[in-house]
Amino acid sequence: MEIKFMVDTNVGKLAKWLRLMGYDALFFTGENDSGMIAIALAEGRVILTRDTQIMKRRIVTNGQLKAILIKSDKPGEQMRQVITTLNPNHQYRPFTICLECNQPLLESSKEQVRELVPPYVFQTQSQFMQCPSCHRIYWRGTHWQAMTKKLEKFMEG
């Protein structure tokens, strides 16, 4: 089963990187830990946090809710800790989840995006994905390539 995440505000940068890898990673924006824990429990999400108090909660210590205490404050090391802990053989699937709103992307035909992307992009790219929620369009352009390169570096250490 695919692992889903609940990203605490104290490790917020992880949300984007996990989405880039193709993981469903919800970023917690609420006020209190109890709200975050309730959602994680209801949706079967693994909590990522730097908050030791969360790790001490009975629901976590008894194994009902999975949580990972993130050790480093550097995003690269944080990513490595998460992936090596949970899924060391993960094959990442970039281009599947919206980096902004965590929605699964849908494929768009070239014609559908003609008016929505810069002409150069339309001419040079053949595959487009769109977020059903924010309608942002993704393609494997230079920005995307730079991000995936950085991610690969993260994972190599």
Of 13 and 57, CB closest to Zn ion: 13
Least separation, in Å, of the C-beta of 40 and Zn ion? 21
In the numeric block, the tokens 């002409």 are attached to 119
- Helix and strand totals (H; E) in the chain: 8, 7
Of 70 and 117, CB closest to Zn ion: 117
Residues 78 and 14 sit within 8 Å (Cβ to Cβ): yes
Least separation, in Å, of the C-beta of 130 and Zn ion? 9
Of 30 and 104, CB closest to Zn ion: 104
Of 12 and 76, CB closest to Zn ion: 12
Give the DSSP per-residue string, 13-51: HHHHHHHHTT-EEEEP-SS-HHHHHHHHHHHTEEEEES-
Least separation, in Å, of the C-beta of 107 and Zn ion? 15
Q: Which residues sit at the interface with Zn ion, rule CB under 5 A?
A: 98, 100-101, 131, 133-134
Least separation, in Å, of the C-beta of 93 and Zn ion? 17
Residues 139 and 129 sit within 8 Å (Cβ to Cβ): yes
Distances (CA, A) of 88 to 3, 11, 72, 93, 123: 12, 20, 18, 14, 38
